[in-house]
Amino acid sequence: MSFHIPDKLFCLLIIEGGFVLKKIHENAIEVKVIPGKLGAVDAFDVISQPITAGVRIIRKNSDVPTRIHSHPERQILYVIEGRASITNTVFSLDLEPGDFVLLDPNEEHYVVTKDEEAKVFEIKYS
């Protein structure tokens, strides 16, 4: 399986046998700003299609993305730093570092932050 890696600066380490390690620092990835009802998310995608993976920095006092939001892919979120909540307007879950969130395809959701930003690792896949 091959992945699309954004055309950014990255370091290649070629190992005997043809295996290649790739190192990409988040500062080398172009940020994509995703606006919300309030605030925004700074998205740093390291790969995209067929799997999207990257870091999301959800700015403080945000309600993102514009609600209500869903997509055809499954989604995994892992909270690295900060606190947030995820909701589908019926149920809400408070999130803290170390929490995983698993979302099924087309599951409606959005994320809310209050007094601090949250840094989240996200994977979307079919």
Question: If the chain, 126 residues long, is cut into consecutive pieces of 10 residues, what is the mean pLDDT of each piece?
Answer: 52 63 84 96 92 97 90 98 94 97 96 98 97
Domain span holding position 102: 31-125
Looking at this protein, which amino acid is placed at residue 64? V
Assigned domain for 11 exists: no
Write down the pTM of the prediction: 0.84
Residues 6 or more apart from 62 whose CB is under 8 A from it? 36, 38, 39, 40, 41, 111, 112, 113, 117
Predicted local confidence at residue 13, as pLDDT: 57
Predicted local confidence at residue 83, as pLDDT: 98
Predicted local confidence at residue 11, as pLDDT: 59
Assigned domain for 9 exists: no
Predicted local confidence at residue 41, as pLDDT: 97
Predicted local confidence at residue 62, as pLDDT: 98
Assigned domain for 110 exists: yes
Number of structural domains the chain divides into = 1
Angle at 49 between CA 46 and CA 54, to 5 degrees: 25
Assigned domain for 97 exists: yes
